[in-house]
Chain A
Amino acid sequence: MSPRARFILRRLALAIPVIVAMSVFVFLMIHLVPGDPVQTMLGFRATPQNVATVREQLGLDRPLLAQYLTWAGGLLHGNFGEDFISHTPVSTLLRQRLPVTIELTLLSMTLAVLVGVPFGVRAAARPGAVRHLSEGWVVGGIAIADFWLGIMLVLLFAGIWQLLPPSGYVPFLKDPAQNLRYLALPVLALAFGESAYILRTTRGAMEEVLGTQYVLFLRAKGIPERRIVYRHALRNAAAPIVTVVGIQFGVLLGGAIVIETLFALPGVGRLIVTSIQQQNYVVVQGGVLVVAILFILVTLVTDVIVGWLDPRIEEGAAA
C-alpha cells in the first residue's frame, strides 16, 4: 500500500472515534438536561399522558445503552428523530437548512482566501506600505467581532446607503442574483476576520520560505522575483496556509450560528438557536451532530490536502 493510501486510511481511522465520541455526547445531551427533559420540552401544562407518550416515542423509558444503539442505528439510516413541535422529521429540517449554512461558510471562506492569501504573499514579498496595511488588517480582523461587524454593515449598506437587504434569504436555484445580494453582508461579516488569520499565516509562512537558502539560490540564478514568489515559495508555504484554512472552517461554522441569527438566514445555526429557545432538544441534537460531523470531515480533507502538498507529512504519519 502506498504511503498516501496508508495516510488517508490512518486519518479516516482517527476520525471515526471522534465521530462516535461526538455522537455519545450529543445523545447524552437530552439526558443531562436538569429535571425531566420531556416535561421541560412540553412545558408544565403537558398532561402526564402526553409526557408518557413522548417519553415512549423518544425511547427514554429504555436502558441507556439500548437507547444509544437504537438512536445511533437510526442516524446511520438518516433518521435523526422528529421535531416535536412541527412533527417534521429532523432529517428533513436539516436537508432544508444545511445548504444555506454550507453556502454561507463556503462563500465566506472563498472570499477570505482570495483576500488573505494574495495580501499575505505581497506583504511578505514587498515589505513597506503593504506590510503596514496588512498589520492593520490583521489587528482589525482579530479584534472586531464578526456579528458586530455584521451589525455595522447592516447600518451602512442597508440602513444608510440602502444598497443591500438587511436580512432574509432567497435560494440560489430560485434566483442566483438575489441569493448573492442577500448573502453579501453575512459573507463579508464572516470573511473579514477569517481573512485576517489567513493573511497572518500566509505572511509568516512566506517570510520563512523567502528567507531560505534555495530562494537565495533562485535569486542568484536570476529567476524573476514574481516567479520565485508565486511558483516556488508559495507552493512550499501552502501546507500551513491550508492547515489554517481547515481550522478556521470550524470557526466559520461556529460564527455562522450567530451570523445566521443576525441576518435571519434559514441555516442549521439558526435552527439550533431557535430550537434551544424552544427547548426542542431532538432538533438541537441533530443540528449539533451534523455541524460537528461537517467540521470533522473538513479537517479530514484538510489533512489529506496538506499530506499531498507536503509528502514528508504523509510518509512520517504512515511510517
Chain B
Amino acid sequence: MSLAVAVAAPPRRSIWRRGILSSRKGRIGFGILVGLLAVAVFAPLIAPHDPNAIDASRILAPPDLTHPFGSDALGRDVLSRVIYAYRVSLGVAVGSTLLAFLVGVPLGLYAGYHGGWVDTAIMRPIDMVLALPAMLLAVALIAVLGPGTNISAIAIAIIYMPILARVVRSSTLVVASQTYIEAARARGTSHRRIIASHVFPNAVGPAIVQATVLMGFALQIEAALSFLGLGAQPPTPSLGSMLADGRDVLTQAPWVEIFPGVAIAITVLAFNFFGDGLRLRLDPRGVAS
C-alpha cells in the first residue's frame, strides 16, 4: 500500500499576510509607499498647478485652499513643485538602488558561493569602498563625473553596491553550506544552475530587505547632493534643490523649506517601516542588519 501525501504550497496572499503585512510597521510603510508611488507616477494628474508657472501676484504667499503648501519666491505653487521634485528624487532613489542591486547581488553571490581567491578578488576592493564615508565618496565621484541627476544616481549606486554585495555574500555563505546544495553538487548540477536555482532564491531575501531600507536613504543622499548643487541641475526640480532655493527666504516663507523636508522624512520612514515588515518574512535571522 502506498501512502501519498499532498502538500499544498502556501497561497501567495498568505505570504504577505503572515509576513510583510503582519506587522503594524510593515502595513503602515506599505500603505504610505503605495500612496507615494502613486504621487510620483501620476504627478501630472495630481499636481494642482504647473510647477514652473510664475505668478508675480503670489510671491511668497502663505498656504491657502488653492495653494495648500503656499508659493515660493517666484510665486510658483510649492505643492506642485514638491510633487514633481518628488518624482525626480524618488526616481533617482529607486533607480540607484536597483542598479546597485543588479551589480552587487551577483558579485556577492559569486564571492560567497565560490569562496577562496574568487571571494578575495571580489570582496577586498568592495571592503575598501566600504571603508570610506558614503557622502564623501559620492561627492568625490561627482567631482570627477560632473554634477547631474544621472551622475548622482550612479554615485549612490556605487556607494550601495558594496553594502548589498556584502549582505548577499553573508547569506550565500549560510545557504552554500546547506546539505541540499551539497546534494545538487553531488548530482553534477553546474555551478551556474546551483547559484541561479538554489542559492539565489534562498540568499537574496536579506538583500531585498536592505535594498528597501537603502532606497529611503538614497532619497536623503540625493536631496543632500542637490542641496549642495551637485545633484539635479536647473530646470530639473529636486527636493534638495528646492531646499537650497528656499534658504534665502527661510524666515519670510518657511513653507518653502518645510514641505520638501517633510516629504523626504515621510519617504525614509515609509521605506524603513516597509523594510521592517519585509525583514520578518525575508530575513528572520537579521543578516541585513
Chain A positions within 8 Å of B, measured between CB atoms, are 17-18, 21-22, 25-26, 29, 32-34, 139, 142-145, 147-148, 151-152, 154-155, 159-160, 250-251, 253-255, 257-258, 261-262, 272-273, 275-277, 281, 284, 288, 291-292, 295-296, 299
Contact check: which of B127, B140, B243 meets A29 at CB < 8 Å? B140
Complex Cα gap A152–B251 (Å): 10
List the B side residues contacting A32 at CB < 8 Å.
144-145
Residue of B nearest to A272 (CB): B139
The complex places the Cα of A295 from the Cα of B140 at a distance, in Å, of 15
Tell me which residues across on chain A come within 8 A of B251, comparing CB atoms: 155, 159-160
B window 216-270: CB within 8 A of A: 220, 223-224, 227-230, 243, 247, 250-251, 254, 257-258, 260-261, 264-266, 268-269
Q: Is B102 an interface residue (CB 8 A)?
A: no
Interface size on B, residues (CB 8 A): 38
Query: Would B254 and A145 count as touching, CB distance under 8 A?
Result: no
User: Does B132 sit within 8 A of A, measured CB to CB?
Assistant: yes
Whether the pair A299, B131 counts as a contact (CB closer than 8 A) is yes
Beyond A34-B146, A147-B227, A257-B228, 20 additional pairs, beta carbon < 8 A:
A34-B145, A143-B266, A145-B264, A148-B265, A151-B243, A151-B261, A152-B257, A152-B258, A152-B261, A155-B251, A250-B133, A253-B135, A257-B139, A262-B247, A273-B228, A275-B143, A276-B142, A281-B143, A288-B136, A295-B133
Name the contact of A139 in the complex, choosing from B133, B228, B269 (C-beta under 8 A): B269
What distance in Å separates the Cβ of B270 from its nearest Cβ neighbour in chain A?
9
Question: Main SS of the interface on chain B?
Answer: helix
CB distance B135 to A254 under 8 Å?
yes
Q: Quick one: given A145-B265, A151-B247, A261-B228, are A292 and B133 in contact (CB under 8 Å)?
A: yes
Contact of B136 among A18, A33, A254 (CB under 8 A): A254
The 6 closest A-B pairs by CB, nearest first: A254-B135, A148-B261, A159-B251, A254-B133, A250-B133, A143-B269
Chain B residues engaging chain A, CB cutoff 8 angstroms: 125, 127-128, 131-136, 139-140, 142-146, 220, 223-224, 227-230, 243, 247, 250-251, 254, 257-258, 260-261, 264-266, 268-269, 272
User: With the chains together, A250 CA to B146 CA distance in Å?
Assistant: 23
